[in-house]
């Protein structure tokens, strides 16, 4: 290796924290993506249960189905609140 190439190299101890940070950032992005997709599913679940109640009424209009629908509505409402809170936080952070 030429002297100029040696002088441009950086010691591993100096780059490892930055490499770890970029890897952690990538993983955090993946987790956020998974969470957002999960929230989307929760928000859509009441409509899915409504569709099943129409398609298979004998199975999805019983007491247990009503409880599931109630639970799905509660989770969908919570998910919607989280989306609104997150979007509000992002907008405030941007401005």
pLDDT value at 5 more than 90: no
Cα–Cα distance measured from residue 57 to residue 52, given in angstroms and rounded to the nearest whole number? 7
Q: Are the C-beta atoms of 76 and 40 separated by less than 8 Å?
A: no
Domain ranges, ordered by start, for the chain: 17-94
Burial string for 63-79 (b: 16+ CB within 10 Å, else e) reads: eebeebbeebeebbeeb
**Contact of 49 with 69, CB cutoff 8 Å:** yes
Q: What is the pLDDT of residue 46?
A: 93
Q: For 34-92, what is each residue's pLDDT tens digit?
A: 888 888 888 899 999 999 989 998 888 788 888 999 999 999 998 888 888 876 766 55
């Amino acid at each position: 290796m030429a002297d100029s190439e040696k002088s441009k190299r950086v010691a591993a101890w100096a780059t490892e924290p930055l490499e770890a940070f970029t890897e952690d950032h990538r993983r955090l992005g993946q987790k956020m993506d998974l969470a957002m997709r999960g929230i989307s599913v929760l928000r859509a679940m009441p409509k899915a249960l409504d569709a099943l109640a129409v398609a298979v009424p004998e199975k999805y209009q019983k007491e247990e189905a009503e409880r599931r629908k109630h639970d799905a509505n509660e989770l969908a409402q919570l998910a919607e609140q989280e989306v609104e809170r997150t979007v509000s936080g992002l907008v405030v952070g941007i401005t």
